[in-house]
Amino acid sequence: MDLLSQPVLILNSSYLPISIKSVKDAICMLLLDKAEVLKEAKDAFIRSEKLKIPVPHVILLSNYYQLPKRRLRVSRHTILERDNYTCVYCQKKPAPSKLTLDHIIPRSRWEIISNEKKFFEFNSWENIVTACRDCNTKKGSKLLSELKWKIPEIKKINQNSPIPNISETKAEKYGWTEFLNY
Ligand SMILES: [Zn+2]
């Protein structure tokens, strides 16, 4: 990924994370005096004829206190991020392309389970988890109780969070950890 399209964490004036923009957008905001840098790279620079700017990691908006409203949706990306790209069954962390989404209660069993026991929807945060291909195949259309498998507690998602759920790995990679609430 080239430096200009690397992600930058944007905080509003109350230091709450509100979005993720590209380095290019962040530098525009900085040059327009709409934001200030809170954290930047020590050894990566954007250079032009007249400028040499360290790549920003986190910027703080000036005079912007709003929190945008957004509802986070279940998707491959948001589930993988929530589970930190780790198979919930075996705790392995293969390449993201080798990870799949697994329905804890599979489609073929969904109708059999009485309505009283369904505390959530089929395609919901509660029923979808990250699984490696091996575990997904082994699980097939079985229930966890039949396999005697247990899964760790799934991270709770704040669906009304203004920013997409960010995995710990990503937060660490770009130096955002101290600005997010883990
Ligand atoms: Zn696995």
Distance 149 CA to ligand 1 centre (A): 11
* Amino acid sitting at position 42: K
Helix then strand then coil, % of the chain, to nearest 5: 25, 25, 50
pLDDT of residue 73: 85
pLDDT of residue 71: 76
Distance 87 CA to ligand 1 centre (A): 5
Q: Is 56 buried (19+), middle (13-18) or exposed (0-12) by CB count in 10 A? A: buried
Distance 84 CA to ligand 1 centre (A): 13
Q: Using CA of residue 58, residue 64, residue 66, residue 69, what is the dihedral sign? A: negative
pLDDT of residue 127: 93
Contacts of 31 (CB under 8 A, 6+ apart): none
Residues with CB under 5 A from ligand 1 (ion): 87, 89-90, 132, 135
Distance 45 CA to ligand 1 centre (A): 39
Distance 135 CA to ligand 1 centre (A): 4
Domain regions of the chain by residue span = 3-68+163-179, 76-147
Distance 88 CA to ligand 1 centre (A): 7
**From the first residue on, what is the mean pLDDT of each consecutive set of 10 residues in the chain (182 residues)?**
92 91 96 96 90 94 85 89 95 96 92 73 92 97 94 82 78 90 60
CATH code for the domain defined by 76-147: 1.10.30.50
Query: Of the candidates 69, 67, 57, which has an alpha carbon nearest to the alpha carbon of residue 7?
Result: 57
Cross-strand bridge partners of residue 128: 103
